[in-house]
């Protein structure tokens, strides 16, 4: 049987999928190895969201060619969003690849590997309207035994005009809530203290008319008050008061909402097909702060989308000043083949101008994050300790409910437990504290 090494790129959903792949392969008798030098098969779970994400994988595939030169039996396969987007083209372009498998076809991986062993190339990229891998208990790869992901829905059909995900992940579908609750309970019984429920639009989760995302959150949070529950990513259009009510009523649902805004200009939001306005978005931010004044808010933003003017860009900066995000993922627009924007909206902002706008957003966000963190000094938080700090063995790090990383002197604290920590100092990225 094969010794499979899985390498993952892209969003948390890809990392969660790799754990499903791990379960499917071990179920078929293969083993998962964590040392690439032991591998007979390398599977790369890929992302297609921006061109640079794809270039990184292309570069890696070429790098691995050298390893194949030394180890002739070594096979390489591509999973995930690039597999879905490029299909057979990928194997034609990178001739050291043996296998291509899209995100809804992972159950077929054992057969595909068999085909490769018979000397053939293997590809399966069929998307599904029903596959959720609900019955598969993921093999936790690279886990700290404290925090785990649970995929609760797949796909996206929002068709934001710039985005490739609807084409790589297929139709939106939700997973049976009983299997989600069972997986979370089993994780808690194994000693995990935190689960993150995942989906491209996690808050559009819908199983039946009576079971939407708020009801699901209520069920998962009720498993045990010692189990922290997080979720990502929520779409502003579906952020309901009902969800905020449920969050506010469970202290173990973490006070952190990732709410991608993409742009602060209504004209851009409309061109992006985001289905909300700046006013709607700010109303949702106000609602979050009304229900949970201590909730952190994070976002995604795109600089230099088609026809973005300096006024549009200013509007994004103004929105950042207004919301004062705790963290932001900031990107330059990257045109993706096949999307509405690639067909109808010219990619007409010069690359160096995109970079300039992006850097302006990054600089502003850096200032805001530092100011936000400074205002944390003196506060006490319950921290779930995750492990040793990267800087020093004498220090531990963990996160508070707001998802901020706090580093502190270890004394008698242990990873995998909750500790009370008082914030003493900070950088823009990290809080520095001491045990109380």
What is the contact surface with ligand F3S in residues (CB under 6 A)? Answer: 10-11, 13-14, 47-49, 80-81, 164-165, 168-169
Per-position x/- string for 331-350, each x denoting binding to ligand SAH as judged by CB under 6 A, each - no binding: x-xx-x--------------
Q: Which is nearer to ligand F3S, 14 or 201 (CB)?
A: 14
Ramachandran assignment for 416, one of left (phi > 0), alpha (psi -120 to 50 degrees), beta (any other)? left
Residue with Cβ nearer ligand SAH (50 or 75): 50
Taking CB under 6 A as the rule, does residue 200 contact ligand SF4? yes
Among 18, 168, 201, 389, binds ligand SF4 (CB under 6 A): 201
Backbone angles phi, psi at 256, to 5 degrees: -155, 125
What distance in Å separates the CA atoms of residue 293 and residue 97, rounded to the nearest whole number? 51
Q: Which is nearer to ligand F3S, 46 or 402 (CB)?
A: 46
Q: Which does 13 bind (CB under 5 to 8 A by kind): ligand F3S, ligand SAH, ligand SF4, none?
A: ligand F3S
CB 341 within 8 A of CB 335: yes
Q: Which is nearer to ligand SAH, 32 or 319 (CB)?
A: 319
First to last CA, the chain: 52
By CB under 6 A, tell whether 278 contacts ligand SAH.
no
Q: Is 398 helix (H, G, I), strand (E, B) or coil?
A: strand
Write out the E strands in 152-205: 153-154, 173-174, 194-198
Q: How many CB atoms are closer than 10 A to CB 360?
A: 17
CB of 407 to ligand SAH, least distance (A): 28
Q: How far apart are CA 61 and CA 433, in angstroms?
A: 42
Which of the residues 137 through 166 are near ligand SF4 (CB under 6 A)?
Answer: 156, 158-160, 163, 165-166
Q: Which does 168 bind (CB under 5 to 8 A by kind): ligand SAH, ligand F3S, ligand SF4, none?
A: ligand F3S
| CA count, 13 A, side-chain hemisphere, 2 | 29
Q: Considering only residues 151, 203, 204, 233, which one is a binding residue for ligand SAH as defined by CB under 6 A?
A: 233
How would you classify residue 68: left for phi > 0, otherwise alpha for psi between -120 and 50, otherwise beta? alpha
Question: Contact 253/299 with Cβ under 8 angstroms?
Answer: no
300 binds ligand SAH (CB under 6 A): yes
Cβ proximity to ligand SF4: between 8 and 339 the closer is 339
Tokens of 35: 């040392």
Residue nearer to ligand F3S on the CB measure, 51 or 394: 51
Residue 392 CB, shortest distance to ligand F3S, in Å, is 33
Phi, psi of 209 (to 5 degrees): -60, -30
| One of 107, 235, 404, 410 touching ligand SAH (CB under 6 A) | 235
Cβ 107 to ligand F3S, closest distance in Å? Answer: 19
Q: Which does 80 bind (CB under 5 to 8 A by kind): ligand SF4, ligand SAH, ligand F3S, none?
A: ligand F3S
**Residue 214 binds which of ligand SAH, ligand F3S, ligand SF4, none (CB < 5-8 A, kind-dependent):** none
Write a three-state SS string for 268-311: HHHHCCCCCCHHHHHHHHHHHHHHCCCCEEEEEEEECCCCCCHH
Spatial CB neighbours of 318, under 8 Å, sequence gap ≥ 6: 264
In sequence order, what are the residues at sequence separation of 6 or more whose Cβ sits closer than 8 angstroms to the Cβ of residue 98? 75, 76, 77, 91, 116, 121, 122
166 or 433: CB nearest ligand SF4: 166
Q: Which tokens belong to 165?
A: 């995900």
CA distance 284 to 138: 34
**Cα distance between residue 288 and residue 265, in whole Å:** 21
Least distance between ligand SAH and beta carbon 162 (Å): 4
CB nearer to ligand SF4: give 154 or 399: 154
- Partner in contact with 50, chosen from ligand SF4, ligand SAH, ligand F3S, none, beta carbon below 5 to 8 Å by kind: ligand SAH
Residue 302 binds which one of ligand SF4, ligand F3S, ligand SAH, none, with CB within 5 to 8 A depending on kind? ligand SAH
Residue 85 or 357 with smaller CB distance to ligand F3S: 85
**Identity of the residue, 36 or 329, whose beta carbon is nearer to ligand F3S in the bound complex:** 329
Q: Which residues of 264-293 are buried (b: 16+ CB within 10 A; e: fewer)?
A: bbbebbebbebebebebbbebbeebeebbe
List of residues contacting ligand SF4 (CB under 6 A): 156, 158-160, 163, 165-166, 200-201, 235
List of residues contacting ligand SAH (CB under 6 A): 49-50, 162-163, 165, 200-201, 233, 235, 260, 262, 300, 302, 331, 333-334, 336
């Amino acid at each position: 049987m094969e010794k499979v090494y899985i390498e993952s790129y892209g969003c948390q959903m890809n990392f969660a999928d790799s754990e499903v792949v791990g379960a499917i392969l071990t179920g078929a008798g293969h083993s998962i190895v964590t040392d690439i030098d032991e591998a007979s098969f390398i599977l790369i779970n890929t992302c297609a969201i921006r061109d640079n994400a794809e270039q990184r994988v292309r570069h890696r595939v070429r790098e691995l060619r050298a390893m194949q030169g030394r180890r002739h039996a070594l096979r390489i396969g591509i999973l995930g969003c690039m597999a879905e987007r490029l299909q057979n083209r990928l194997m034609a372009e990178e001739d050291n690849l043996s296998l291509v498998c899209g995100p809804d076809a992972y159950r077929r991986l054992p057969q595909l590997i068999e085909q490769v062993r018979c000397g053939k190339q293997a590809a399966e990229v069929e998307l599904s309207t029903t596959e959720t891998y609900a019955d598969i208990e993921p093999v936790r790869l690279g886990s700290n035994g404290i925090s785990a992901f649970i995929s609760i829905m797949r796909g996206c059909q929002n068709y934001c005009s710039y985005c490739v995900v609807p084409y790589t992940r297929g139709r939106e579908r939700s997973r049976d809530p009983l299997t989600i609750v069972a997986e979370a309970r089993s994780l808690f019984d194994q000693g995990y203290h935190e689960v993150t429920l995942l989906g491209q639009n996690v808050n559009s989760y819908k199983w039946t008319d009576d079971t939407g995302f708020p009801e699901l959150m209520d069920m998962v949070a009720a498993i045990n008050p010692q189990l922290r529950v997080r979720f990502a990513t929520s779409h502003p259009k579906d952020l309901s008061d009902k969800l905020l009510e449920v969050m506010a009523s469970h202290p173990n649902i973490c006070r952190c909402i990732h709410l991608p805004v993409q742009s602060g200009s209504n004209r851009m939001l409309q061109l992006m097909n985001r289905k909300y306005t700046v006013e709607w978005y700010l109303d949702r931010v106000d609602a979050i702060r009304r229900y949970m004044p201590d909730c952190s808010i994070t976002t995604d933003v795109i600089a230099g989308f088609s026809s973005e003017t300096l006024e549009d860009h200013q509007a994004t900066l103004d929105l950042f000043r207004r919301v004062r995000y705790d963290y932001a993922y900031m990107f330059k627009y990257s045109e993706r083949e096949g999307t509405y924007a690639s067909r109808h909206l010219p990619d007409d902002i010069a690359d160096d101008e995109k970079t300039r706008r992006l850097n302006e957003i990054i600089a502003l966000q850096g200032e805001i994050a530092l100011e936000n963190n400074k205002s944390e000094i003196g506060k006490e938080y319950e921290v779930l300790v995750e492990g040793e700090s990267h800087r020093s063995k004498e220090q531990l790090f963990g996160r508070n409910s707001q998802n901020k990383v706090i580093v502190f002197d270890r004394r008698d604290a242990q990873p995998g437990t909750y500790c009370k920590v008082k914030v003493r100092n900070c950088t823009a990225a990290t809080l520095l504290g001491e045990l109380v």
